Structure formats: structure tokens, C-alpha cells
Structure 1
């Protein structure tokens, strides 16, 4: 769908976060005389009214009746199309699209493929993989855009040009690629396991929406993780128009210990790459496979991974206080991610902080793992803290770990300090690890705010930890 096709139609915006504001500016740029209606909350309504746009009507209640009055509603990603009011309006004929769909609609090219565009999704690892891809391409002198869910809406770059596009997409956005009517050149899926079940309405729908990037958008090449069972099964049933490249198996990019290989070729030892954990080195394999699928010499680009700057809030080492290292993994919103974080520090004495917004995910497997792979201490917190605590209480003696609970993050940090101090004696190399395995909703605006709060409680400067390097378009990496 091109923006020009919206001219003269009954058009509304739903949401006034960064994505919503980017959509507004793009629509005004292309359709300056188009009447628009904005649905947003009361606080956002004040900010929108300050624009002084006489063609913008602002409403604070997006009910089914009002949404049904429009031909097209441009929806922010965080608003689920499975909400009852959206489903009623869709049944009445209202089309819901996102900014991602509008951006892709503007990129129609011969053959229907957006050349040089690589989209990355996955339950975990998508941000790091996307940033690595941009970093590697820029190291080779390729003018590359880094945008999308990673922190820069695509519509903010509507009229900008790049040789390559590294675009992160959440499960909220993947369906928009197909709706844009243009196939991505390359689509990467890192892994798929349950998350965002409240937004999608269940695991089956989540998986279907996540995989829409390859099943419905039909990229020229799909780069898939051979170690993920769902993706391994998917590869055999993709549309013939989509070629498949695998990583994580011996005929593609893969790891043997710490050594990075391309097929039978040993490329370099990854021990000095600033990517904590085996899962992050798998993300490097994904990025290299994507660069190769775009037509670049990935073997030549691979050593540039040594100069990559890790993203904030993802196993981010904040520093050391009194011999204890503080690690911010606030991006962790599933038990699976928390287990991956623990594996990185399996040789250290760790006090782990878990819990947050209750999205209904099953923590039983996590609790079972704690029988044999527990840290020194686990502190539960947040809305789902009591549920996690009850599961862990049944295995704490067998697992030999100190189990504590707290009402909030401040209490959890204090409990972690106490648990480490109460052990066999404070040890150099102790770790306080925030890897909550749950969203931040309710207590914080987002995982960034939660990570900043953790940094402050640990005695670190929260303003120094949150910058995502390299957003936007550049031909080389920042120093």
C-alpha cells in the first residue's frame, strides 16, 4: 500500500508514541491536505494539539464504533489488532496497517523485491543480529541503514537512501511487510519460542505472526537457524520463490567451540569478540549469513565483529563495586532468555533477579533446570514473582540455592546483596544479574527504564548506559 493510495479516504492514526508520530509526519509530507483523526490518550492529546494542525482531529477513545467509521487506520505496533474493538472494526471493513507496511509500500521495485533490504526477527537475538549486520556491512564501506524496532521507525527515513537496510522487526510488525506488497530481499529468523502471548492471543498465533516474515512476505532469501526445531520444519515448506540459507550447521556459518567457520573454512577465533555467551556468537553467524545473502563477501567482513559495540540492556556489564560485577540484562523477557544469561556466568557466584509483568509464560522448565544449574541465589519480584517463587521453592533444597523474594526492584537488589554476603564469604567475581525473564509493563515504561533503574540502584550512572550506537544511515561505523 502506497501512501498516495490513502488520499481522499477516511483515515485515522491510532497511537502517538514514536511510531505514531513518525507516521503522522510521513502522511503530512505526502498528503498535506488530508484530514486525519488521531486516537491517543489524554496526555498525548495535549502534545498533538500543540501542533496546531487544523486538519487533525484528536479523540481519546478508540472504540469499535469510531474505528469502524474509517477506511484505513494506521496503527502503532504496540496496539494489538486482536483487541475486540479492532476485530469488530476490521469485520466492518476497516483496514489496519502499520508504519512498516507504508514504508515497504513506498519501495516498490522491478520484480516486487526491495533490493538490499534485510529484515531480522526472532524471539531473541534480533536486535544484536540486526546491529551486527549493519556493523559488518559498514566495515566494508557499504552505506547501510540501521532502523526499525531497534529504536528508529522506518518512516523517519522515508525519503532517505542507502545501499543496504538492516531492519529489526518485532512480531508486532512482521505481518506489515507482507501488507506493504513488496518482498524483502533477505529475511532472517533467529529463533521462535513463546512470548508476547497477551498481544497475540496465544502461542499458535504468536508463532504464525512471527513467521509471517517468511511465510507471507516471501523474501527472496530466508536465513534460518538450523538449531531451532520450528525453523528446521519451516524450511521444507516455504514458497519456492524463497531460497533458504541455513546457519548453525556445517555447510553454512557455524561455530566449533569458539572457532567461527564458513562450511569447512575456519575463519577466526571469536574469543576476543565482545559478544557475551554462545547465543550471541550464533547471532554473529546469522548476521554473516545475511550479509552473504545480500551479495557481500562475508568471510572478508567477519573479523570486523571484533570492533562491534554491544547493545545496551543485553547482558550489559555496568561495572564492578566491591568485587561484585553488575550485569544489566533488562531486555530479557522470557525464561529462555534468563537461562541463556545464566549460562554466560555459570562459573561465577551469581545472585539472579527474576520476575516482572505476568504474561502467562510457563516457568516450569526454568524451575526444573534450577535443580542442577542454579545460581547461588535467586530473588523473585514483580507481578509474577509469587508464581515463580512457588515453583522455585519446590526445588530450592535440591538445587542448593538461596531463594528470596522482594516486592520491587529496589528490594530485590538489596536481597541480592544480602544473599551474596551471607554465602561462604564474599568472593571476587560475584555477579548481580538482572535477567528478569518478564516484561517491564506496569512498574516501568519499558525495559530501558527498568535497566536504568537497576543501574542507579547498583551505583552506576543511568545516563551512560542506554545509547544504541549506529542508528540511522552511515557508510562507516562510529568510532
Structure 2
């Protein structure tokens, strides 16, 4: 199916099973029911919230089965699943045995785009282990600066179904896609797409690094204009080579160094384009200054280059790239500067929940007191510590798996002072900030970049970041 073609499905009387209530399942069930499908929703949970959601759907005439997400309903012709449901669930094994197709919410949105009679907006898609949300929001900011009607949608929290079926018309969509979503999106064909980076993540879901990478690589399938890859991460370029794209689609690299032909990069503090210019062998187009990127940390500059590449692939002028980057404000808990106290910067990167994200965060500063720890999710820390050792003034460890990081520090940075907090209550963050402040010297950065998940101590990484920011602000008040 070509990128601009719209799939038509006769939904009338089609037996469709929707797997999972929630942000994707409920809109899917409603959309299919409105088109005449006979919808059954199955859900593992049977709590008060699920029962309330079920009652709303049942009032429309949709069948809901709570507490039984394993059994394939009779007559099922198609399953539409929430992205988090693992491929080895009994429901999906039964579907495979019965020859029943399985789509995700992204696949359904792709198939239904244009269903409301309007022209389907092309998709500029972004995936990768880290940086997806920031890059998609940067891209949307650039597209808006170009005067285009757009939205940042997908895994970013805004339902793709709502975007493609809502009353708002769009010229183009900036789409964040997770590996889960791509796994269940066999016919997705983006205008252009980027894989920002690849590092081990969600391997329990995918089964192997190879399977994880293959699902990420699906984002390139059928691209019409550009496959954007990270020149510093050869695995992303390998995925471009393996992709089956439309004739004329180009491979476009981004690099923090000087770009070669068909690349975007950085020269003397300037973001430049040698891909979408008339003579890319000899010419380069200035797009923006590094100082236009907020914050100008190396990995965030890479995000900006990827966003710029996708925007340029869509025909956006250089001035809109600059203006869009200047207008962009990062989400909370992503390299967020909280305060300066006694010439020490305090930075919240609670979103750095794995070693790959933390490596990028640590690389952004020269002298760091690092606050780390939490749930390791099977990660190892030797490579991370080895790379960061020279930048570390000190380390404060907290959380359930802090010993794993402590052991790596003992092996690879034995001279770095370490404070090991045995407390695992939420109040430990205040103590962590106090210890970090004592270790820091003027010019240092106290950096919360945990390299771990938060659920051992906090509801999510947002709550962890808020606890850090609260502790820093409290210290700022006492230091004033």
C-alpha cells in the first residue's frame, strides 16, 4: 500500500475483538462500533475502574468481558490490541492458530485515516530507544512555525485514532511510535521516518535485541521521501538498508559533527543541512544555532537534527526550523534545570530510566554529582560508569538496586566518593539532595539521572522528579 493510499474496510457486521480497555482500547471499540462492527472487548483486569469503563461501552451495545483476556471470543475475525499486550499471550496464540489478524491501535488509525471523507494527512514518524517524545514535540513546533496544521500524537499520549477521526483537519502529523506499537502495525507507510538510536530495552517483551530492532525498523517500511538515521549509531543505518521503501526514498543521516552529503550536522555551533539543498556535494544550508536548542545538551542537539531532517523532508523552509526550535520548551523531568544554589546547578532528568538515556545525560556536563538508582530492570552499569568516571565529583545512590551501581563504581571509579542511602521511603530524595550539595563544588552540576525505573519508591518518574525539584527548592529557600 502506497503512503498516500487509504485502506477501505467494510466493517458492517465484522466480528472484532478489542484487547484491553484504556487509552487505546476504548477509542478503538467506539470507532469500530460506530462503523457497524460487532465489537467484543476483553480485559485482564476486573477492578472498579474497569467496571465503570465497561458500563459506558455496554450502554452503547458493545460486549465487554472483564477478567478474561486469554480466551478468543467465538467468530472473531480481527483483534485490535492495546500496544502493551505481549505477543505470547494465549489470546494471540489462539488467534494465530485460527488465522485471525492482529492489529494495534496504530494500525487501526492508519487504516481509518481519511475515513471521515477528508484528505488523509501524511505521517512523519519517530521511534528509538530514547528521545522520541522530545523529537516529536520539536518536530511539531517546527511544523507549526512553518504555518502547517499539525499535532504531536501517538505514544506521546494523544490518541492517533482521535487525531485521524476528529473534526480538526491536519496538513501533517508528527507521530511518536513505540516498538510495541510498530510490532502490531504491518501496513503503516510513513511519508518519512526516523530511528533516533537503538539500545537494549523492553527485551522481556520482544524476546531478543534482534526482535526489538526489527520492530523499530518497521517504521521505515514503505517510506516515500526520507529514512532518517543516526550516523553515530550504525544499527539505525542498518535498519534503513534492510527496509523496503518506495523508489526515490533517500537515506538521510544526522551527526553531531560536520555533515557529509545527505546529512545534517553541526559546524562551528551552527546546525546545517547538506541533504535538502540543490548541490549537496558542495553546499550547506544554515538552519539554526546550537544555542537555539533548549537545552543544548549533545543528545538534545541530535534530537533537534532528527526533527529538522523530517521537517526538511516535508519541504519546510530553514527559517521555520530555527523558529520552531526557539519556540520549543522541553517536557518536565527531561534535562530540566531546577535551580542554581551557591554556583551549583541542579538538573532533573528523572526521565532517564535506562543506562542509554543516562549516558547521554551524563555526557552533557563536565563535573557532576550524580544521583542514581531505583529498579535496574536487568541492566548492568559497568559501561555507563566507565564512560562517565572522569566527570564524576561524587555519587549519591538510592533505591532497590543501588548496589549494582555501587559495585560498578567500585570496579571502575574507586576514587569517586559514594553516599549509599539505605532508606527507600519517598523522603529519601531530600536526604539525597543534601548529600549531593555537600559533595558539590562551585561550577558542578547535581544531576538526577537514575538509570533505573522509579516504581520501587515512587509512582512514576514524574513523581520522582517532582520530589527532587521540591527538595532542591526547599534547599534554595534555606540558602537564600
Q: Deviations over 1:141-171 (max 9, x none)?
A: 1111211111201012223420111111111
Structure-2 separation of matches of 1:93 and 1:383: 44
* Shift in Å, 1:11: 2.3
Structure-2 separation of matches of 1:63 and 1:52: 17
Q: What is the match of residue 27 of structure 2?
A: 22
Q: What is the match of residue 272 of structure 2?
A: 261
1:353 to 367, 371, 377: 371
Is 1:122 the equivalent of 2:128? yes
SS in structure 2 of the partner of residue 373 of structure 1? helix
Is 1:330 the equivalent of 2:341? no
Q: 1:96 to 1:239 in 2, by over 3 A?
A: closer
Q: What is the match of residue 34 of structure 1?
A: 38
Higher RCO (CA 8 Å, separation ≥ 6 residues): 1
8 A Cα contact 1:355 1:384, kept in partner: yes
SS in structure 1 of the partner of residue 408 of structure 2? helix
Is 1:243 the equivalent of 2:245? no
SS in structure 2 of the partner of residue 78 of structure 1? coil
Q: What is the match of residue 474 of structure 1?
A: none
Structure-1 separation of matches of 2:394 and 2:454: 22
Q: What is the match of residue 56 of structure 2?
A: 51
8 A Cα contact 2:123 2:173, kept in partner: yes
* Count of residues in correspondence between the two structures: 447
* Shift in Å, 1:2: 5.9
Moved more, 190-199 or 253-262: 253-262
Structure-2 separation of matches of 1:331 and 1:421: 21
Is 1:434 the equivalent of 2:467? no
2:426 to 401, 410, 429: 410
Structure-2 separation of matches of 1:166 and 1:410: 36
* Shift in Å, 1:332: 1.2
8 A Cα contact 2:192 2:223, kept in partner: no
Unmatched 5+ stretches in structure 1:
461-479
Q: How does 1:86-97 map to 2 (within 5 A)?
A: 86-97=92-103
Structure-2 separation of matches of 1:444 and 1:80: 25
Q: What is the match of residue 151 of structure 1?
A: 157
Structure-2 separation of matches of 1:405 and 1:61: 40
Moved more, 135-144 or 71-80: 71-80
1:73 to 79, 83, 86: 79
Q: What is the match of residue 211 of structure 1?
A: 217
SS in structure 2 of the partner of residue 86 of structure 1? helix
* Shift in Å, 1:212: 1.3
Moved more, 242-251 or 307-316: 242-251
Q: What is the match of residue 366 of structure 1?
A: 384
8 A Cα contact 2:396 2:436, kept in partner: no
Structure-2 separation of matches of 1:306 and 1:6: 45
* Shift in Å, 1:421: 4.5
After TM superposition, the score normalised by the length of structure 1 is 0.83
Q: What is the match of residue 278 of structure 2?
A: none
8 A Cα contact 1:416 1:432, kept in partner: no
8 A Cα contact 2:145 2:323, kept in partner: no
After TM superposition, the score normalised by the length of structure 2 is 0.83
SS in structure 1 of the partner of residue 180 of structure 2? coil
SS in structure 1 of the partner of residue 229 of structure 2? strand
8 A Cα contact 1:187 1:219, kept in partner: no
Is 1:273 the equivalent of 2:281? no
SS in structure 1 of the partner of residue 191 of structure 2? strand
Q: How does 1:183-198 map to 2 (within 5 A)?
A: 183-198=189-204
Structure-2 separation of matches of 1:266 and 1:59: 57
Unmatched 5+ stretches in structure 2:
1-5, 275-283, 475-480
Q: What is the match of residue 169 of structure 2?
A: 161
RMSD: 3.0
* Shift in Å, 1:452: 3.2
Q: 1:47 to 1:445 in 2, by over 3 A?
A: farther
